[in-house]
Amino acid sequence: RRASDSGSSSSSSSPRARERRFRNRDSADEADGDDADLEVNEVDDEDEELDAEQELLADITERYETWKSQAQRKSLSAMRGSEEVFFDAYDLNERFRPDYWQRLRVILQPEEAFANIFKLEGVLSANAHAIEYASWKQLAEELDKEPPDEDIVQQTYHLRPERIVQGVLRWTDSWREVRGIVYRQQEIYRERFLAEQHRPTRGLLRWLELLQRYDMPCAVYSRLDRVSVEKALTDMGVADFFKERITAESEVETAIQFLLVACVKMQRAPQKCVVYEDTPKGILAAHEVFSKAIGLVGLFPAFDLRLADLTVEDFDDLRVMNVRRLFADQEEPAPQFEYERRW
């Protein structure tokens, strides 16, 4: 037994046995290396397939548009950050053209396709023009000038204040003095505007409730600051009806720019908006952006507002059907399904 045990131990520790063990170990290491290389190659192949899928999905997502991406593309911040410097009414009409599903929705409730843009001074606030005339009268007393006639001031509401001082009232010819007088007039007007209790135009609350019932968005614009606009709307009790407000902080100057910014904020094409104005210049600005204009008689007689699509004395004369009739010549074609041919 001892001899056989010693013989087996000597045979296991023989050079051939050691060489055989080393060969098996090398073959095992080579097999492990081949498996690792195979795993690395499989990972590389998966990465290449993933990159190819991402490239394919990228090509598809460029053509695919969701509701969120559509809203972001049409937002005011996206337009201001775009490469295009100017946007006119043609661009906005093309950008906000209703798609297939929007036209289907409009079939059930056609009033949702239209939007309303109101001017604060004279249209919403019934005593805004009286406040402005009082500011000019106070300014004349401070400068020891002759107070202007109320009719003259009313006829110059659509002009710039610099032109009123220099061209209409003829208080001075120095541009530096003109700028100082205009700055002081705006200060007095804002102080009086914040101090006065604003009264709504007759029938305004009923008309806004009717527009809200039919889901027709409303916007208000004014050359005053946001605090003054908020105060006036709160006094009249109509602040909840106007989610979109275009004020002096919106960095716009002309009446056309006010209207275009309002269209962008409400996500409506200019040709689908109704502008409520009380001056001939505001009516012309509405037609310049292909909008419909409703003129309110008061500051100007009905003859001066004859270019408006509809002229009313107050909001009690308006009905929702009046708004729909204004766009009778702009009806969108009804979407139709295309039948599949099997032969």
Residues ≥6 apart with Cβ < 8 Å to 288: 89, 256
Q: Judge contact between 160 and 154, C-beta under 8 A.
A: no
Structure token digits, residue 238: 């109509």
Residue 4: predicted pLDDT: 45
Which string of DSSP letters, residue by residue, matches 76-102? HHHHHTSS-----HHHHHHHT---HHH
Residue 9: predicted pLDDT: 45
Which string of DSSP letters, residue by residue, matches 49-84? HHHHHHHHHHHHHHH---HHHHHHHTSHHHHHTSS-
pTM of the complete model:
0.71
SS3 238: coil
One pLDDT digit (tens) per residue for the chain, 343 residues: 444 444 444 444 455 555 555 555 555 555 555 555 555 555 566 667 666 666 655 554 445 555 455 555 555 555 554 444 467 888 888 888 877 777 777 777 788 889 999 999 989 999 988 898 899 999 999 988 888 888 777 777 777 888 888 888 888 888 889 899 999 999 999 999 999 999 999 999 999 999 999 889 999 999 899 999 999 999 999 999 999 999 988 888 888 999 999 999 998 899 999 999 999 999 999 999 999 999 999 888 889 899 999 999 999 989 888 888 888 776 655 555 555 555 5
Residue 95: predicted pLDDT: 84
In the beta sheet, which residues pair with residue 118? 220, 276
Q: Judge contact between 279 and 299, C-beta under 8 A.
A: yes
Q: Judge contact between 202 and 226, C-beta under 8 A.
A: no
Q: Judge contact between 258 and 252, C-beta under 8 A.
A: yes
Q: Judge contact between 114 and 273, C-beta under 8 A.
A: yes
Residue 10: predicted pLDDT: 45
Structure token digits, residue 314: 């107050």
User: Among residues 278, 268, 272, 331, which one has the least CA distance to residue 307?
Assistant: 278
SS3 314: coil
